[in-house]
Structure 1
Amino acid sequence: MPGFDQLDRSRLRERPGAKWQRYGPDVLPLWVADMDFEPPPAVLRAIEDQMATGDLGYSMKPSPSPVAAAFASWMSRRHGWEVDPHDVMLTQDVIQALQTSIHLFSEPGGGVAIQTPIYPPFLASVTAMGRRLVDNPLRRGADGYELDVAGLRASLEAEPCSILLLCNPHNPTGRVFTIDELSSLAALAEEFDLTVISDEIHADLVFPGSTHTPFATLPGAAERTVTLNSATKSFNIAGLRCAVAHVSSGRLRDRFRSLPDHIFGGVNVFGARATEAVWTEGSQWLEGLMGHLLRMRELVVAGVGEFLPGAEIAAPEATYLSWIDCRGMDLPVEPSRFFLKEAGVALNPGPDFGSGGRGHVRLNFATSADIVTEAFGRIARALP
């Protein structure tokens, strides 16, 4: 298996997935949150082992499932969180579980609090399901983005809500919220009787200097928390469609049990086998990945400072995504449009992440150093 910095660009362009096929052959795609690396060998072995059985029929459904048991073991080893596998439900992806949770724990027209900028499907899910978006924008501080706890309190007092959507580690800013920040949210959730839906899909992609705290580990928080997670981001297997929802509260779990039996569909057998495999034996591969991503993060921060005059960036504390403020660059059009048309570099448009995203872009640095370096070179040459 090639190293993380040894990517064959011609092979990347032959991939059928969205990242390399959405734009033309002359564009460097640093947009959607897929990595350019091959999945861990454990994934390929798991798929091959399943194929070798000759059985692609209906799967047995033991309780707890092997995926749930692997998740519990992984959380214990990686985050010190002791999870009962019986409290873990399987779902095809995080957004499916998020939308189901919105359906269960809010009413049409009800308020859902959210921190923007935020992963676009969060915004789309709230509005598509007929709920009212209560925006609690993150504040830009001296060292990066911060939760505006006082602002959230004011919003909750003005606009009743039943759900708080949390993304931690945060997409797109890369913040890893501190235990003090999370405790403040937990106190508000208790005071205003909110169900917290906590998307922690990037929990394993935290850089040195920060620590991920599962929201459900805060005192009393588990009774009102649905935690969503998946191996898809950490191990680059989004197409295998397997995620988990952790619900230890009997009250919340009863609501899930009130749903029709097949509303979550069935998890793909390959996704289940691959997820179990990486949560069982993926630690060494992940450590290698994080070492490479740390170098790419520093390359991006340096590139913004050197090649994007007027732009600002706070080094992400987690994820392989960087959130770049281009408002000071005086570009003639929306930044992502300019970078795509004039430089041949595809980035995510900031407005997709909410109103506070105007003038920003999201850049995916889960690729090789030469691709990141070329992207900044292209942008620098294209600047007016």
Structure 2
Amino acid sequence: MTPPSTRRPVVDLTDEEARRALLLKWGTVPGDVIPAWVAEMDYALDPVVHEALRRAVGDGVTGYPVFGYTAELGEAYAGFARRHYGSRVEPEWVHPVVDVTAGVRVALDVLSDDGPVVFLVPGYSPQLDVAELTGRKRVDVVVHPDAARAEVDLDQLESLFANGARTLLLTQPHNPWGRVFSRDELAGIRDVVVRYGARVVSDEIHAPLVLPGAAHTSYLDLEGTHDHAVALVAASKAFNTAGLRCAQLLVPDPEARRLLEGQPMARNDSWSPLGVVAAVAAFSDGDPWLASLVERLDQLRTLLGELLSEHLPAVRMRPLEATYLAWLDARAHGHDDPAAVALERGRVKLGPGHDYAPGLTGHVRLNIATSPERLTEIVRRLATAWG
């Protein structure tokens, strides 16, 4: 753990600064709307990452990236994973991809058998379409809105594999559930997958954002996973650098690496050299800022619970164990699309629940990665809009 005395503080962006910096989140809404939807944080860049990018642009690093394995990136991530998760990652496992969803698509295209892809629903909305983009059918393990805890139903999972599914697209920590899967849960998933000779593509982009009280276990840390699994990681979610376009595909199996390295450049040639610069800086020197961020998010998690209890006691929040994305059940207020009502009446933009689970009513995803003052105002507005 990074000692408090060595941490770099998180700095809130003003509204004006946020509109300049966060073009999608803030730049696409009217001036009277507070955006709390897409997964970007209302914070200034870690100064270490900012300085690394400033130097790179000063040096003119705006050309093509090195195609394939990059030793500096591999070594930086291996060190980060060792420090934060106790994981053993060999640098040669680390291959750059443009972003996590693109990396999922590459992994499915190159490594997975033909056959349906299992997806956990509610789930990250852009990945609802990934299976179809690779010519495969998506089949869902669905968590019912009334379930006491968002868990992977192993019986559902087994049934889908028994009926022909060949790959599990696993999101862990999970978005939008906010869940961190335990080692035992992951072992249960592994055992089902192995029984059917299937594959796992594990999206672990939110791993740096596990909050106090939980701990991340990479699927690749489990015994007996390297021959059938890859993981996707990135600095982009934790360090707010998604626009720099560089995630990492972790490939422990040598044969899988050979297959990926033999692919035409056009299949995976679009990550950015500035993304590599930012990722190396974040993974190598970003721990002091990341520690401050996790502390801030933990405080905001507590604040949100208090605000909901005071202003929206009928709204149910899933326990937020990781990420800065709270999954809220607002069905008690009687609105099929509470996000639309929040925007129209409260001037707050949220993620509608049906984006994460087609047909789901009464749910929203709320991004809490902002200032305490903005979060307080968001909940106050929601109470007025939904009341």
TM-score, normalised via structure 1 length: 0.93
Contact 1:36/1:366 (8 A) holds in 2 = yes
Is 1:117 paired with 2:95? no
Deviation at 1:52, TM superposition (A): 3.2
Equivalent in the alignment of 2:225: 221
Provide Cα deviations, 1:60-93, integer angstroms capped at 9, x if missing partner.
5695421111011111111111111112111111
CA distance in 2, matches of 1:67, 1:378: 43
Aligned in 2, Cα 1:237/1:63: closer, same or farther, shift over 3 Å? closer
1:377 aligned partner, one-letter code: R
Q: Work out which of the residue numbers 329, 339, 343 in structure 2 matches 1:340.
A: 343
Q: 1:49 to 1:13 in 2, by over 3 A?
A: closer
The CA deviation at 1:358 is 2.5
For residue 156 of structure 1, report the CA deviation from its aligned partner.
2.1
Residue 248 of structure 1: aligned partner: 252
Are 2:353 and 1:350 equivalent residues in the alignment?
yes
Which residue of 2 is the match for residue 360 of structure 1? 363
Q: 1:335–1:361: 8 Å Cα contact kept in structure 2?
A: yes
Q: What's the CA shift for 1:255? A: 2.7
Identity of aligned residues (%): 34
SS in 1 for 2:210: coil
Q: Which runs of structure 1 show a deviation greater than 6 angstroms over 4 or more consecutive aligned residues?
A: none
Measured after TM superposition, the shift of residue 294 of structure 1 is 0.6
The corresponding residue for 1:26 is 32
SS of alignment partner, residue 380 of structure 1 = helix
Q: 1:55 to 1:348 in 2, by over 3 A?
A: closer
Counterpart in 1 of 2:139? 134
State the 1:266 CA deviation. Answer: 4.2
User: What's the offset of the Cα at 1:128?
Assistant: 3.0
Letter in 1 for 2:157: L
Per the TM alignment, residue 260 of structure 1 is displaced from its structure 2 partner at its CA by 0.7
* TM-score normalised to structure 2 length: 0.93
2:374 counterpart letter in structure 1:
I
CA contact (8 A) 1:13 1:20 kept: yes
Gaps of 5+ in 1: none
For 1:88, the equivalent position in structure 2 comes to 94
1:79 equivalent in structure 2? 85
- Return 5+ residue gaps in structure 2 as ranges: 1-7
Aligned-residue offset at 1:161: 1.1
- Structure 1 59/161 Cα, relative in aligned 2: closer, same or farther at 3 Å? closer
Cα distance, 1:59–1:197 mapped onto 2, change above 3 Å: closer
Give the direction of change, closer, same or farther, for the CA distance of 1:328–1:59 in structure 2 (3 Å limit): closer
| Aligned-partner residue type, residue 149 of structure 2 | G
Q: Kindly state the Cα deviation for residue 253 of structure 1 after the two structures are TM-superposed.
A: 2.1
Is 1:39 matched up with 2:45? yes
Aligned length: 381
Residue 211 of structure 1: aligned partner:
215
Q: Which residue type is aligned with residue 19 of structure 2?
A: R
Is the CA contact 1:301–1:315 (under 8 Å) kept in the aligned structure 2? no
Over aligned residue pairs, what C-alpha RMSD do you find? Answer: 2.1
Conserved 8 A contact 2:13-2:43 = yes
- Secondary structure, counterpart of 1:222 in structure 2: coil
